[in-house]
Amino acid sequence: MGGPNEIRAKFPSMEEGTKEDWDIIGSHYMPFASKVADRVLDHLRLLDGDYGGFPVDRLEHSLQTATRAHRDGRPDDYVVMALLHDIGDTLGTFNHPDVAAAILKPFVSEKLHWITEKHGIFQGYYFFHHLGQDRDMREQFRGHEHFEDCAEFCEKYDQAAFDASYESAPLEFFEPIVRKVMARPINSIYVNE
Ligand SMILES: [Fe+2]
Ligand SMILES: [Fe+2]
């Protein structure tokens, strides 16, 4: 963003930065931050056509997970969590839940963040035993206050969202919901009241 003639900060190192420099940078921050939902949606589209051997591609799996949650009456923040839970498959191939958890963290409750971060282990209940792994890996969290919520997310929405005959809502349906939930961080070290 910004052309070669835009006004920029002048410091060669942050140590030499001035209030004037940071006023310039600050004036760019909110317009950039306001587009985070659009960047996230663009990244989600990278999952389109990526099957990885599954019955549906990763975008359809995401839409189906979110659609099932929405049709089950879940609130907007939960639906957005459901939509984005696997967005990290591209860059976080070996730890995809961490990527979605990091993206959602400023915008959702601690509970939804926990569900996102742990869903990979809980989802394993449905397939780890086919890969020679322990399907009960989630048991390490038994008794945690969000255990049942995470198990429920996987049971009702995530593990159920591979049905090629299911009529999911299109991404356009979820776009305004994502923009609304990501419009304002509820916790961020970069944004003051
Ligand atoms: Fe996942
Ligand atoms: Fe998933």
Q: What is the CATH number of the domain that holds 120?
A: 1.10.3210.10
Residue 139 lies in a domain: yes
The two three-digit tokens of residue 6, written as one number: 């835009």
Residue 23 lies in a domain: no
Residue type at 83? L
pLDDT mean values, one per 10 residues, the chain (193 residues): 80 98 95 96 96 97 98 98 97 97 97 98 98 98 98 98 98 98 91 71
Which residues sit with Cβ closer than 5 angstroms to ligand 2, an ion?
86, 158
- CA–centroid distance, 186 to ligand 2, in Å, is 25
CA distance linking residue 127 with residue 27, whole number of Å: 49
Which of 84, 45, 62, 47 has the alpha carbon at shortest distance from 162? Answer: 62
How many structural domains comprise the chain?
1
Residue range of the domain that includes 106: 37-181
- CA–centroid distance, 108 to ligand 1, in Å, is 18
CA distance linking residue 80 with residue 191, whole number of Å: 21
Which residues sit with Cβ closer than 5 angstroms to ligand 1, an ion?
86
Q: What is the pLDDT of residue 1?
A: 55
- CA–centroid distance, 32 to ligand 2, in Å, is 29
Residue 188 lies in a domain: no
- CA–centroid distance, 64 to ligand 2, in Å, is 9
Residue 170 lies in a domain: yes
The two three-digit tokens of residue 81, written as one number: 């969590």
Residue 21 lies in a domain: no
Q: What is the pLDDT of residue 191?
A: 80
Residue 49 lies in a domain: yes
